C-alpha cells in the first residue's frame, strides 16, 4: 500500500539518500533553493554525490564540504555576485568531475529522463567544445533531411530536492513566485523527490482550493515533505522573501578569508536549522528580506 502521509523530518529525508547517488537540486542560481535540505546533507556523512543543478550556493557549499564527486551544470552563480566563490575554488583545485551543459540542454536532459528516453536530439552544443568535453554523441535524423544532432543523454536522478511555498501531507504542493524554473522537471526526472515547504497544511483542498494552478507537479512524483519556514535562505523564495545578499557576501568573503570551509561551516550550516537561522536574525528576519529588483 502506498504511504499517503509523506511527512518526514529533514534528517529522515537525508537518511533516504545514499553515498554515490545522483541528486538533482531545484531552483536557479540564488533563487528558490532547498537550502535547509542542503544544509541537512552538509550535517550528514553523505559523500560522493553527483549533483545536477542550475547552481548557486547549494553547489558551492556541497563542493566546499567535499560532498561532490561530479557536477552536472550550465552555470554556478549568485547573480549579483556572478562567480560562485566556493565552486570556483573546487574547480580550480581540480577537485570535481564535471559535465558542463548549456542551460537548455540541461532541461532537455531532465525531460528525456522524465519520459524514460535514453536521449533527446538537439542542435544545441554543435559548434562548441561541449560535445567533445562531455563525451556527447550525435545522431542522424532517419528522415529525408538527414540532419546530424547532438543526442542529449537523459539526466536520470536518484533523488531530487525542491523547496516550495506550501504542501499538504500527501504531497500536494503549491509553488508561487514569478518563475518556478525547472522544478517540475527535476521532480519528473527523479526516482524520488523530497520537498521542503514554507507552510505545511492538512488538506490542500480545505485551505487553498482556488490556487490549484500553483500545483506545478502532481503528488505522484513527491515522496516526502517537510515544513521548514525560511528553508530557502539565503536564496530567494518569492513571494515570501528575497535573497539575503548580505549573507551571500559574507559567504563569498569567507572563501577568501579564512578560505577554509571547515572554519566557517558552523556559521553557514550550523548544528541545526534553528541555530542556523538565529545566526541570521531568526526566521522573522528572513521573512522580512525584500524581494530582489532586477
Of 125, 171, 224, 229, which lies in the binding site for other proteins, with binding defined by CB under 8 A? 125
- Under rule CB under 8 A, residue 73 binds other proteins: yes
Cβ 97 to other proteins, closest distance in Å? 7
Cβ 177 to other proteins, closest distance in Å? 8
What cell numbers appear for 260 in the block? 577554509
Which lies closer to other proteins via its Cβ, residue 97 or residue 266? 97
Of 52, 180, 240, 247, which lies in the binding site for other proteins, with binding defined by CB under 8 A? 180
- Under rule CB under 8 A, residue 218 binds other proteins: no
- Under rule CB under 8 A, residue 287 binds other proteins: no
Find the binding residues for other proteins in span 38-57 (CB under 8 A).
55
Which lies closer to other proteins via its Cβ, residue 98 or residue 285? 98
- Under rule CB under 8 A, residue 214 binds other proteins: no
- Under rule CB under 8 A, residue 182 binds other proteins: yes
Count other C-beta atoms under 10 Å from residue 129's C-beta.
9
Helix axes 57-64, 261-268, angle to 10 degrees: 130
- Under rule CB under 8 A, residue 293 binds other proteins: yes
Burial class of residue 214 in the structure, from the number of CB atoms within 10 Å of its CB (0-12 exposed, 13-18 middle, 19+ buried): middle
* Separation of alpha carbons 103 and 194, rounded Å: 23
Helix axes 245-256, 57-64, angle to 10 degrees: 30
The upper half-sphere exposure of residue 292, i.e. CA atoms within 13 Å in the direction of its Cβ, equals 19
- Under rule CB under 8 A, residue 252 binds other proteins: no
Q: 194, 167 in Cβ contact below 8 A?
A: no
> How many residues sit in the footprint of other proteins (CB under 8 A)?
51
Find the binding residues for other proteins in span 81-110 (CB under 8 A).
82-83, 87-88, 91-94, 97-98, 100-105, 107-108
What cell numbers appear for 149 in the block? 544532432
Cβ 157 to other proteins, closest distance in Å? 18
- Under rule CB under 8 A, residue 148 binds other proteins: yes
* Separation of alpha carbons 196 and 171, rounded Å: 10
What cell numbers appear for 217 in the block? 507537479
The three-state (H, E, C) secondary structure of 119-134, written as one string: EEEECCCCCCCHHHHH
- Under rule CB under 8 A, residue 172 binds other proteins: no
Strand positions, DSSP E, 81-230 = 97-100, 119-122, 138-140, 148-153, 157-168, 173-174, 190-201, 224-227
Residue ranges binding other proteins (CB under 8 A): 28, 55, 73-77, 82-83, 87-88, 91-94, 97-98, 100-105, 107-108, 123-131, 133, 138, 140, 146-149, 178-182, 184, 290-291, 293-294
Amino acid at each position: 500500500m502506498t504511504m499517503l502521509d509523506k511527512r518526514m523530518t529533514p534528517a529522515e529525508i537525508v537518511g533516504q539518500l545514499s553515498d554515490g547517488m545522483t541528486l538533482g537540486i531545484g531552483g536557479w542560481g540564488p533563487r528558490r533553493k532547498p537550502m535547509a535540505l542542503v544544509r541537512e546533507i552538509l550535517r550528514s556523512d553523505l559523500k560522493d554525490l553527483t549533483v545536477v543543478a542550475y547552481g548557486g550556493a547549494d553547489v558551492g557549499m556541497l563542493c566546499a564540504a567535499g560532498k561532490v564527486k561530479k557536477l552536472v551544470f550550465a552555470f554556478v552563480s549568485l547573480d549579483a555576485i556572478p562567480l560562485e566563490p566556493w565552486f570556483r575554488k573546487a574547480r580550480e583545485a581540480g577537485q570535481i568531475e564535471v559535465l558542463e551543459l548549456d542551460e537548455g540542454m540541461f532541461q532537455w536532459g531532465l525531460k528525456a529522463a522524465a519520459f524514460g528516453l535514453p536521449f533527446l536530439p538537439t542542435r544545441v552544443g554543435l559548434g562548441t567544445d561541449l560535445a567533445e568535453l562531455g563525451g556527447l554523441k550525435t545522431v542522424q535524423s532517419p528522415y529525408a533531411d538527414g540532419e546530424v544532432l547532438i543526442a542529449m543523454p537523459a539526466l536520470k536522478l536518484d533523488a531530487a530536492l525542491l523547496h516550495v511555498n506550501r504542501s499538504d501531507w500527501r504531497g500536494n504542493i503549491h509553488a508561487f513566485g514569478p518563475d518556478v524554473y525547472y522544478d517540475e522537471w527535476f521532480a519528473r526526472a527523479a526516482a524520488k523527490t523530497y520537498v521542503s515547504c514554507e507552510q505545511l497544511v492538512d488538506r490542500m483542498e480545505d485551505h487553498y482550493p482556488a490556487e490549484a494552478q500553483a500545483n506545478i507537479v502532481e503528488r505522484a512524483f513527491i515522496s516526502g515533505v517537510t515544513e521548514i519556514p525560511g528553508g530557502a535562505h539565503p536564496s530567494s523564495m518569492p513571494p515570501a522573501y528575497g535573497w539575503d545578499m548580505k549573507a551571500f557576501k559574507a559567504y563569498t568573503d569567507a572563501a577568501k578569508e579564512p578560505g577554509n570551509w571547515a572554519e566557517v561551516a558552523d556559521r553557514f550550516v550550523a548544528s541545526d536549522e534553528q541555530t542556523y537561522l538565529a545566526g541570521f536574525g531568526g526566521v522573522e528576519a528572513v521573512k522580512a528580506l525584500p524581494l530582489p529588483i532586477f
